[in-house]
Amino acid sequence: MAAFLDSSIEFLKGVGPQKAEALRLELGIHTIGDLLSHYPFRHEDRSKIYQVRDLTSDNVQVQLQGKIIPSGIMGQGPGRRLVAQFSDATGQLELVWFKGISFLEKSIKPGAEYRVNGRISIFKGKANMAHPELELIDGNSAAETLGRALVPVYPLTDGMRRRRMDNRFMAQLTSTALRHADYLLPENLPQSILEKFRLPNRSDAVRELHAPTSLSNLEIAKNRLKFEELFYLQLRHLMIKGNRDRHSPGLRFDRVGDSFNTFYKDYLPFPLTNAQKRVIKEIRVDMNSGKQMNRLLQGDVGSGKTIVALLTALIAMDNGYQVALMAPTEILATQHFYSLQESLGLMPIKMRLLTGSSSKKQREELLAEAEDGQLNLLIGTHALLEDQVKFKQLGLVIVDEQHRFGVAQRAKLWKKGQTIPHVLVMTATPIPRTLAMAVYGDLDVSVIDELPAGRKPVQTAHRPESNRAIVMDFLKKEIALGRQVYYVFPLIEDSDKLELQSLMSGYDTVTQYLPTPHYKYSLVHGRMKAEEKEEQMQLFKRGGSDIMIATTVIEVGVNVPNASVMVIENAERFGLSQLHQLRGRVGRGAEQSYCILLSGPKLSENGRKRLQTMVATTDGFEIAKVDLELRGPGEIDGTKQSGVLDLKLADIRADEAILVAARTEAIGWLAQDELLMKPESSGIRAELAKSPHRTLWSKIS
Ligand code: ADP
Ligand code: MG
């Protein structure tokens, strides 16, 4: 049977050399096997026939049946089109084609009965249909699709449409291929897995997908093929990870020594949450496993990742290794430096800060200390990646807020040790569990899914700009109670100059309501020098100012527990994850905190949904889910090269349960046959050996 599947597509009836060439070029279909793996991306329910009378809504896909009379070719150049009148017993409708005109004109039989499938558009109260698909009803034609309720719709390219290789062509071709073989595709999932989940075999599933027999059978077939797709996605991730584990031995941190214990006993400022304890345990096990740790630590804003990072760092130091902590902005690196210094109190740990604005002298000292091993902990920005930064014994790299760092940048840090250091990546952009698995399938994931006790959820309101005066009164009251306020303006088109302008005019507006010198301000924006920013931050932090006016530079990580109000101007211009990050700046102390989202009167549907979501929930994972729905997985940070976009059938948004099952099975399978050497793994081996034609998928519109 393999021979049949591997034979050229040209051997199929209806495919001459030209069409074969087009299939190769446009869709990457070389063989009959390729053709059968070219899945329809949806199915149309053609059990229903609409009547012209009932066509009142725009942009819906319908099927009609009636007679067609061509009115001829009209217009010039790009406007050249074939027009025809369609009529059934209830009314008339105009059909238009812009492509393949002369062929169509010749082939339409005036007055004959047709099935017409297409999308309705209503123009000036009249319905019409562009590029409908036609099927002549004359007893013997197109038996494959006619009368069948569920018709597969295949991805096509413009190049194919130009050659009149349309959906019907694809459907016919596929059904010819299916007719020529009873048993088609070799099974690529282990029998035990098929039985466990009662999945149909591959051959039946593929057949059902191309030629559905019922809606429920189609669902079963699709689930099987989605499972297969996700199983292989996960298997590939896990094999990369397994390979790394086998070939790059990790440093073994088997000591929990003085630093960790002293800190835990004498310096820990609060009891850890259970989630923090669990995560620290996971990390300890990792770092003592003899394998290199690659762990993603997810935790919503304010969940307390910093203390986890610190305890992890102490373990590395107790084992005689140095630690690098990298943050995406100077403000954040600086804040980490001071807050860790404070936390560590009198403990004998040597730490330093390296940023773009470190002086030459500071740099020289610090580089020398890192290289001769005196330095225990180096905190910094991208500056840590520079080649001059060398460590004597780098054992752990912690990357905070990783979505700002590229993969290549991270890889550069790995290279700074003789043995690859352990890596802990912390992110406050909660990625839904499914996406994390799909995207970071080769990392281990820890989640802090619990906020410290006593936190009150931030109360969030959406107000029109016209209510600004009321909002300002509210701010006055809060400030009178001793609280502090963040007041944030959006970045405008990435232009520093405009940013400054809008920030200054915003500042003027705010001070009209809350005048200086009675109210004291800090101001932070992207054009400031690092020291100035830091000075303004510190001023706010120690309570020297009531209101912090800022652009989104404060988005990430800043921690001022007494600040309990966040106002965001033009909130509709921010993305959901950004709004969530911003809101995370408040609600860090014991007081009730507030977030006020101001917007203009005109909101896009999407913008409204974002603001509504912010008002409705403070759960970062919930927000991430909506964000994913609104933007699609391709727009979520870090997913672009992950391969999740190339999935043919599975949709990680909708198919979470299947993804989880597929991952569990993939882990289980590798646990008992790591190198896929057993006979039961031969199907898997064969599948992995095939070079996927998946890159071609992205060509399809
Ligand atoms: P994030 O996860 O956003 O980086 P941080 O580490 O900045 O959060 O912690 C947010 C705030 O919560 C800080 O003020 C921190 O001191 C405090 N915090 C962290 N863990 C706990 C805890 N277990 N109990 C009480 N407060 C905590
Ligand atoms: Mg943080």
Cβ contacts of 75 within 8 Å, gap of 6 or more:
81
Q: How far is the CA of 305 from the centre of ligand 2 (A)?
A: 6
Distance of CA 82 from the midpoint of ligand 1 (Å): 67
Query: Residue 159 has what pLDDT?
Result: 79
Pick the residue with more confidence: 665 or 127? 665
Burial (CB count within 10 angstroms: exposed 0-12, middle 13-18, buried 19+), residue 167: buried
Residues 590-604 have a mean pLDDT of 90
Q: Which atom of ligand 1 is nearest to the CA of 300?
A: 2
The contacts of residue 399 (CB under 8 Å, 6+ apart) are: 326, 405, 410, 413, 423, 424, 425, 426
Q: Which of 178-182, 590-594, 693-697 has the lowest mean pLDDT?
A: 693-697
pLDDT at 180 over 90: no
Ligand lying closest to the C-alpha of residue 453: 1
d(CA 547, CA 527): 19
Model confidence over 148-171: pLDDT tens digits? 678 888 888 877 877 878 888 898
Q: Is-contact 331 554, C-beta < 8 A?
A: yes
Which range in 83-87, 386-390, 445-449, 649-653 is most confidently predicted, on average pLDDT? 83-87
* pLDDT cut 70: percent of the chain above it: 87
Higher confidence at residue 2 or residue 5?
Answer: 5
User: Which one of 270, 401, 560 would you pick to mutate in the ligand 1 pocket, going by the greatest count of ligand atoms within 8 A of its CB?
Assistant: 270
* C-alpha 302 – ligand 1 centre gap (Å): 5
Residue whose C-alpha is closest to residue 323's, from 373, 360, 252? 373
Number of residues in the chain: 701
Average pLDDT over residues 603-623: 90
- Residue whose Cα lies nearest atom 23 of ligand 1: it is 272
Least trusted range by pLDDT, from 229-233, 487-491, 684-688: 487-491
How many whole angstroms separate alpha carbon 341 and alpha carbon 351? Answer: 8
The pair of structure tokens assigned to 401 is 């807020």
Residues framing ligand 1 (Cβ under 6 A): 270, 272-273, 276, 299, 301-307, 428, 452, 559, 561, 588
- Is pTM, for the whole model, over 0.75? no
As a whole number of angstroms, the distance between CA 199 and CA 53 comes to 44
Residue among 277, 543, 287, 257 nearest 421 (CA): 287
Q: Pick the closest to residue 502 from 535, 481, 527 (CA basis).
A: 527
C-alpha closest to that of 37 among 45, 47, 27, 46: 27
User: Which range is most confident: 252-256, 329-333, 640-644?
Assistant: 252-256
pLDDT in tens, 232-266: 988 988 888 788 777 777 889 998 888 999 999 99
pLDDT at 476: 96
Least confident segment among 66-70, 116-120, 691-695: 691-695
